[in-house]
Amino acid sequence: MRAISGYRSSWTILHTYLGLKQTEVVLIVTDTLRLKIAKSLYDTAREMNCEAIMMTMPPRTRHGEEPPDAIANAMRSVDVVIAPTTMSLTHTSAKKRANEAGVRIATMPGVTERMMVEGGLTAKPREVMEHTHRLAAMLKELAEIRITSRQGTDVTFEVNDSKWNLDLGCCREKGCSTNLPAGEVYVAPENCKGTVVIDGSMGGLELLKHPIKIQIEEGKAVDVRGERAKEVLKIINPLGDEARNIAELGIGTNPHARIIGVVLEDEKVLGTAHIALGTNSTFGGHVAAGVHLDGIIRKPRIFAAGREINLL
């Protein structure tokens, strides 16, 4: 049965990606700025004859900030959690503990009503999975990856013992998690050094008119420059040195995603790469900084083992 109200993509999320069953309890975690989207997911779950709960909180102040304890506790007590929120719950202890309890989780930080009807969420799940698996096969067992761009990016990542994660969208097994829209391969690097020029968008800043240049030494952002560098520093400086950790290297694999100023979708765009500052303890790293800020590189070139990797 398809949803008779709300967004068509709500059915795809619940039925196709999460495989929601009538016997399961689903929790919609949202905030006061995403209520229409949350209500569509809630109504669709009810139309599927599932036990549905919706919990609303004030928007968090930054990506990676923990939800209230009442919500964190509830997240561990259901079968499925969907989180259309303004700020990301993806890299929080609440989400990690819920996964460890066997809960399936789809996070949708920054999702907009427009995104529910066009772009990355309209991609065929099989197409996203095929692109993601193809890229992951080329990256596995590599020791080092170098990324360059015409804007000035030239950075090298050590990934020899790091586990590559695949964001496929499909999340039907206990304890799994995904972003929606889906479509990326990502890793918590062991170390990195060089220069990254963010010219797409940046978590908390939306689209960038002018690039942000980040100088990296021994896996830390030692210098941040650009027209909006002060805004980045205002977020990370109060959180200490760990917020400067280069937490992630990610590569987008969704052919329908577009750079629109919402990192949730921007980082999934086929042919882009991104790095993140802050927390990576939720996907293979060791840093819990209370923040996770992704920055998008629009047209990177990626080299490994003496050859260039075809992203398309």
Per-residue pLDDT of 185-195, as tens digits, reads 999 999 999 99
CATH number of 8-107: 3.40.50.2300
Domain boundaries, given as residue ranges, for the chain:
8-107, 122-309
Please give the Cα distance from 208 to 277 (Å, whole number): 17
pLDDT in tens, 13-51: 999 999 999 999 999 999 999 999 999 999 999 999 999
The amino acid at 282: T
Mean pLDDT of the chain: 95
Q: Which residues make Cβ contacts (< 8 Å) with residue 137, sequence separation at least 6?
A: none
Instruction: Say which DSSP state 164 is in.
Output: P
**Cα-atom radius of gyration of the chain, to the nearest Å?**
18
Cα 306 to Cα 46, 143, 144, 156, 302, distances in angstroms: 53, 12, 10, 13, 10
CA atoms lying within 13 Å on the CB side of residue 43: 15
- Strands 104-107 vs 80-83: parallel, antiparallel or unpaired: parallel
Taking the CA atoms of 84, 60, 288 and 96 in sequence, report the sign of the dihedral they define: negative
- The two structure tokens encoding residue 308: 């260039």
- E-strand spans in 218-291? 220-226, 246-252, 273-278
- Tell me, what's the pLDDT at 156? 98
Q: Which long-range contacts (C-beta less than 8 Å, at least 24 apart) are formed by 132-135? A: 132/166, 132/167, 132/168, 132/182, 132/183, 132/184, 132/185, 132/253, 133/166, 133/168, 135/185, 135/251, 135/253, 135/309, 135/311
* Element holding 98 (H helix, E strand): helix 93-100
For residue 140, what are the contacts with CB-CB under 8 A and spacing of at least 6?
164
Mean pLDDT, residues 272-287: 96
pLDDT at 232 over 60: yes
Strands laid side by side in the 51-57 sheet:
51-57, 25-31, 80-83, 104-107, 177-179
- To 5 degrees, how large is the angle CA 278–CA 283–CA 286? 55
pLDDT at 216 exceeding the cut of 70: yes
pLDDT in tens, 122-160: 999 999 999 999 999 999 889 999 999 999 999 999 999
* CB 56 within 8 Å of CB 42: no
Q: What pLDDT is attached to residue 204? A: 86
Kindly report the number of other CB atoms within 10 A of residue 96's CB atom. Answer: 18
Mean pLDDT of 68-84: 98
**8 Å CB contact between 227 and 285:** no
Task: Assess contact for 99 and 177: CB atoms under 8 A.
Answer: yes
pLDDT higher than 70, residue 3? no
> What band does 169 get if pLDDT is binned at 50, 70 and 90?
very high
79, 24 contact by CB (below 8 A) = yes
Residue 100: Cβ within 10 Å count: 10
